[in-house]
Structure 1
Amino acid sequence: MDFNLNTCVFLPTLEAAVSFYLLPNVFPVGNLASYWVVFVLVNTFAVVLYKVILYPFFLSPVRNLPQAKGFIPLLGHGRMLMRRPAGDTQLQAIKDTPNHGLILTRGFFHTDRLILTTPAALADVLVHKSYDFEKPRFARGFLRKFLGDGLLMTEGEEHKHHRKLIAPAFHFRHIKELYPVFWSKSIEFCNAVKAGLGEQPSSAVLEIGHYTTQVTLDIIGLAGLGRDIGSLRNHEDELIKNYEEILEPTTEKVAYFISHLVLSPTVVAMLPWKLNERVRVTTGNIKRICKEFVAERKMNMKQESQASTESRDILSIMIRSNDFSDENLVDQLLTFLAAGHETTSSALTWASYLLSCHPKIQTRLREEIHHRIPDPKALSEPAFDVASLLESMSYLNGVCNETLRLYPTIPVSARVAIRDSTVAGQYIPKGTMLFVIPWAINRNPALWGPNAEEFVPERWIDKETGRATMSGGADSNYAFLTFLHGPRSCIGERFARAEMRALVAAFVGTFEMEMADPGEKVVIGGTITSKPVNGMKLRLKPVEWGS
């Protein structure tokens, strides 16, 4: 039973008419309008009683599941969504609540919300029955403002089709070919940081997040559009300014996101909120720039066809498929620009933070980098196999994997059952919301051991062989959810991992780093992604490569 036009208008009208004309002595209210008002109130009360009390506490198929602590009448466990860092309260619930894969929480007005906690439950939602569960409508409506109708927004058969068309751009052989691009941009990034330190960079403070955004946007520009955006060389770049404004982790933006949970996007857009106008302006600017990129790429492809050359960037592959309209090309580009640069930018920022807080790990990593890469210029030579070198550096890979584990770019993700289904043997009715929480799963002691929340790169290195592993010592690959799994997993995982290897190797090989304020308590914020609220201010000291 739902609040809809039938319940609130048509049914009361029918009931009022029947009562007024056929049973006037049974319900002596007065006139037809009075009957209608009475039945509207009666029906509304009945629906509220059913939805808020009867269904969740007496009829729901999931009512007997273990329930997290902290329930408040009417508010449910709604405070979980508001607390930062996102995913931390759910991690505590997983630790405190004995369960077999599902923990019951309640949303506003006691709606059912389930936290997935075990590999079996995660496998059902992400892999075995992935198309039984979709992103919630409110999340898609919110993300669509920034990402258009790209791959992240599509569902069902449309998603399968588009992913199949785009997948060749992310084939592992193509990623290996991109390593020289990643490395050259990583060196350019380090040079830009040196320039930012000033004329006497013996030990200066810099907010590193701005530079990580610049370099990752440049990289996705080359790999995604086939053009060098050049934001590292242009500090006033329009694209950078707009993305930094959108992604700045402020309290107001958190409130803006939460408002989309409670109200419809139409209602939010009507509110006299200055942020509405800023969102329209910034997203409009980014969409205009993407339209220009599409037009430019199409023109360049005509020239390439005459020269019998064929670009393999993401945009060119989509254009050649002839399966995307210009408008949809822009939407896909919006998605890949945003997701492609923000994920690695965030990861690189958190890697610098973790290494600054763990100087021994930083020193050990630098020793490996300088030992395996005595001359960084050699990696720029065409014949050099950059991919094999970086992928074989066990401690580098351990640091990158551990950073991605502890600071997943998207800490919380939601799914809604679009049909009746089952998860870990539990019947799940249509409309139930389930939470996939990389932050909590990646730090769950039941999956990672008692040091689950500590920065331990060695967990990703095989003790016998000394080589990097992909399990991190966990028994299940579902213990690591940064890129999710299954048909809706991150299509750019290999791209992001390769890019991060190059960036971390170049950055740590070039600079010693420590927190500008060693006593600073870094506040984690953001709406969709995890970012430091006050930026990441580091004290950087250039080092001679190989010293």
Structure 2
Amino acid sequence: MEGPNLFQLVLFSLLESSIAFHVFPQVFSGKTLSAIFFVFAGINFGIYALYHLIVYPYFLSPLRHLPKYNKGFIPILGNGMTMFQRPPGQASLRMMKEVPENDGIIHFRGFLHEDRLLLTNPAALAEVLVHKSYDFEKPPWIRTFLRQFLGDGMLMTEGDEHRHQRKNIMPAFSFRHIKDLYPVFWSKSVELCDVVKAELWEKEDKVLELNHFSTQVTLDIIGLAGLGRDIASLKNSDDLLIKNYEEILEPTAEKGIYFVLHLIFPLWLIKALPWKLNERVRVTTGELKRICTEFVIDKKSRMKTESTEHVDILSIMIRSNNFSDQGLVDQLLTFLAAGHETTSSALTWAAHLLAINPSVQSRLRNEVRGFIPDPKVLSEPGFDIASLLESMPYLNAVCNETLRMFPTIPGSGRVASRDTFINGQFIPKGTLTLVVPWATNRNPQLWGPDAESFVPERWIDKESGRATNMGGAESNYSFLTFLHGPRSCIGEKFARAELRSLVAAFVGNFEWEMADPNEIVRPGGTITSKPIDGMRLRLKPLE
């Protein structure tokens, strides 16, 4: 919806009042120029508000005839308050359930009655994510928020710049390269189990908060695979990198408010507020950029003096000669954050699901021990860990079902960068469309009546007993955890391989349950999905 912005309205009101003051002095006798300005400004803002709140959305918008979700609508606020509801994405799932006849698009109104579209079926999702992916961009306010933490890495870029970066980074995530990284994944998974056992030795109640350890091990893995160096945060729980990422990603209400304010107000205004969180964001992001800059300098220096060809992600980007030093730092910030946080969250949620489903945990342990009677064999040089772990049907089923139920990024937005169409429906430039993995992955219309239940068996073919890629859904667009198309997660194979290794090692070494069987674990977070109060488990080490 195009129209004058507020600044233009002020200028227009100033022009009107100046003309009225000088051309019609008899009409406005006794009034100052300022008083006349406020009269015209009031009239103009009233017309502006009337047009944007009522006339355009209800009588002119080309989207007004689409199937609507009106439940909970509040004048002026619309359904905008749904962004505060938890778990993230649950409100979108409710819309899908309550408006089942929608042809792929549900229309609702955000703040100030702005048009919002929720995509619900594979055809609509394919249009936005694949066929017209560059007609739809990440919202500018999201990019502004994330740029503080990630710089101008691949997640932040659009159009030709995104194509260029993805093309030059893609070789680092090839199938062959991921297969070569399996020994790294497995060795760190074993190290995680050893560290947890040592921690439990000192605890009488055998209760441990897993999320902290999952962050450490995944950061170590991305350090080796991404930088070619062992950050060793598992051995050093006071590691500065861990502390900074845990502080940034901790799912608190204050951080939720901080994120939402970025959707409403400009960055300069938020930074001007006397808010302690502003200072903490400045310090933590400054530390992360400093650490990543040191990583890049060190890596370039070692590549000049060492004859061995480095195969980590950073080395591949350096050899491409397509990135400046600042560009390498930005990509590194992106991969360190996205590369460890995605699998860290997935491992935490997998442990939770297995804790509350002991029969699934037992069945998975039996499979792991059947395929791996002697874990030491996997550490022998040349052993094909990839083929072994990828051939275990129930392990892959559990991992797939975890990723389906708890996508790391539960919701994502796309703004139309030009006038376009979705399944024949005209979409004006500037319209916000929502792609919500949490809701799509749990939509009963796509997954059946047990869509919100943890059922790993849905990923195993009943006749052959082998793992399937569809989980019983009719379209791969029913599973959105890694999205699809040119903007899909470039590290999907990396994350899946890492999760297989971590889950297999952990279930083979421990038996566990929730520390408090009555605890209701609540997903939270701003961008990613994490348990609000951590994940406290009671573990029993196994021989």
My pick for the range that moved more, 105-114 or 406-415, is 105-114
| Matched residue, 1:20 | 21
State the AA in 2 paired with 1:167.
M
Deviations 1:114-135 (A, max 9, x none): 1110111111110010101111
Corresponding residue for residue 459 of structure 2: 460
Alpha carbons 1:182, 1:502 under 8 Å: kept: yes
Residue 514, structure 1, aligned to residue 513, structure 2? yes
Distance 1:205 1:470 in 2: 35
State the distance in 2 between where 1:120 and 1:2 align.
Answer: 34
Counterpart position of 1:301: 303
1:142 aligns with 2:141: no
**Inter-partner Cα distance in structure 1 for 2:201 and 2:19:** 83
Pairwise CA RMSD of aligned residues? 1.3
Does structure 1 residue 172 correspond to structure 2 residue 175?
yes
Residue of structure 2 in register with 1:155 after alignment: 158
Q: Equivalent residue of 2:261, what SS?
A: helix
Q: 1:200, CA displacement in angstroms? A: 6.9
For 1:506-545, list aligned pairs within 5 A: 506-544=505-543
Unmatched tracts of structure 1, length 5 or more: none
Who is 1:277 aligned against? 279
- Which residue of structure 2 lines up, in the alignment, with residue 38 of structure 1? 39
State the match for 2:501 in structure 1. 502
Distance apart, 1:20 and its partner CA: 3.4
- CA distance in 1 between partners of 2:52 and 2:288 (Å): 42
What does 1:206-285 correspond to in 2, within 5 Å?
206-285=208-287
Retained in 2: the 8 A contact 1:214–1:231? yes
3-state DSSP of counterpart to 1:501: helix
Counterpart residue number, 2:51: 50
**Conservation of the 8 A alpha-carbon contact between 1:460 and 1:468:** yes
Report the Cα distance in structure 2 between the residues aligned to 1:29 and 1:142, rounded to whole angstroms. 49
Moved more, 506-515 or 422-431: 422-431
Cα distance in 1, alignment partners of residues 132 and 116 from structure 2: 18
Tell me the CA shift for residue 322 of structure 1. Answer: 1.7
Aligned residue in 2 for 1:205: 207
- What does 1:87-486 correspond to in 2, within 5 Å? 87-97=89-99, 98-199=101-202, 204-304=206-306, 307=307, 309-486=308-485
Q: Whole-Å Cα distance in 2 between the matches of residues 268 and 61 of structure 1?
A: 34
Q: Distance in 2 between matches of 1:318 and 1:496?
A: 19
Deviation at 1:524, TM superposition (A): 1.4
Judged with a 3 Å threshold, the aligned counterparts in structure 2 of structure 1 residues 393 and 51 are, in CA distance, closer, same or farther, namely: same
The alpha carbon displacement at 1:199 in A equals: 4.5
Shift of 1:90: 1.0
Give the 3-state SS of the residue equivalent to 1:514 in structure 2.
strand
CA distance in 2, matches of 1:29, 1:463: 88
Paired with 1:67 and 1:501, the residues of 2 have a C-alpha distance of 41
CA drift of 1:241 comes to 0.8
CA offset digits 1:81-105 (Å, max 9, x no partner): 0011000011011100131111112
Give the letter for the 1:115 counterpart: L
Of 494-503 and 247-256, deviating more is 247-256
Rounded Cα–Cα distance in structure 1 between residues aligned with 2:471 and 2:501? 21
Give, in whole Å, the separation in 1 of the partners of 2:510 and 2:29. Answer: 85
Q: Secondary structure at the match of 2:176?
A: helix
In the other structure, the counterpart of 1:489 is: 488
Q: Quote the Cα distance in structure 1 between the aligned partners of 2:79 and 2:423.
A: 23
For the 8 Å contact 1:70–1:77, the answer to whether it is kept is: yes
Deviations, residues 378-416 of structure 1 (Å, cap 9, x unaligned): 011112110000001000000000000000000010111
| Contact 1:133-1:417 within 8 A present in 2 as well | yes
Task: Measure, in 2, the Cα distance between the counterparts of 1:352 and 1:130.
Answer: 35
Aligned residues: 539
Query: In structure 1, what is the Cα distance between the partners aligned to 2:232 and 2:401?
Result: 30
Which residue of 2 is the match for residue 60 of structure 1? 61
Structure 2 portions without partners, runs of 5+: none
Shift of 1:28: 5.5
Paired with 1:480 and 1:363, the residues of 2 have a C-alpha distance of: 26
The residue type paired with residue 121 of structure 2 is: T
Residue identity opposite 1:121 in structure 2: A
Aligned to 2:74: 72
What's the offset of the Cα at 1:475? 0.2
TM-superposed CA distance for 1:373, in Å, is: 0.5
* Partner SS, residue 167 of structure 1: helix
TM-score (norm 2): 0.97
**Distance (Å, rounded) in 2 between the aligned partners of 1:147 and 1:106:** 31
TM-aligned CA deviation for residue 37 of structure 1: 2.8
Instruction: Name the SS of the counterpart of 2:116 in structure 1.
Output: strand
Please report how far the alpha carbon of residue 26 of structure 1 lies from its aligned counterpart in structure 2 after TM superposition: 5.8
TM-score (norm 1): 0.96
Give distance in 2, aligned partners of 1:136 and 1:178.
34
Distance in 2 (CA, whole Å) between partners of 1:510 and 1:87 is 34
The percent identity for this pair of structures is 65
Whether the 8 Å CA contact 1:3–1:47 is kept in 2: the answer is no
What are the Cα deviations for residues 470-511 of structure 1, in whole angstroms up to 9, with x where unaligned? 100100000000000000000000000000000000000000
Q: CA deviation at 1:447?
A: 0.2
Matched residue of 2:20: which SS?
Answer: helix
**SS of residue matched to 1:104:** strand
Distance 1:266 1:457, change over 3 A: same
Aligned to 1:2: 4
Q: Distance in 2 between matches of 1:465 and 1:397?
A: 15
Q: Which runs of at least 4 in structure 1 moved beyond 6 Å after TM superposition?
A: none
3-state SS, counterpart of residue 114 of structure 1: strand
1:19 Cα offset (Å): 2.9
Aligned to 2:434, the other structure's residue is in SS state strand
CA-CA distance at 1:31 after TM superposition: 4.6
Deviation, 1:329, is: 1.0
Q: Give 1:16 deviation, angstroms.
A: 2.7
Cα deviation for residue 315 of structure 1 reads: 0.8
The one-letter code of the counterpart of 1:255 is I
Q: Give the direction of change, closer, same or farther, for the CA distance of 1:200–1:28 in structure 2 (3 Å limit).
A: closer
8 Å contact 1:29–1:35 — kept in the other structure?
Answer: no
Q: Could you say if the C-alpha distance between residues 31 and 252 of structure 1 is closer, same or farther in structure 2, counting changes exceeding 3 Å?
A: closer
Deviations 1:234-291 (A, max 9, x none): 1111100111111111111111111112211211111111111111111111111111
Structure-2 separation of matches of 1:29 and 1:115: 54
CA shift for structure 1 position 23? 4.2
Q: Please say which of residues 458-467 and 321-330 is displaced more in the overlay.
A: 321-330
1:172 offset after TM fit, Å? 0.6
- What code does the residue aligned with 1:511 have? F
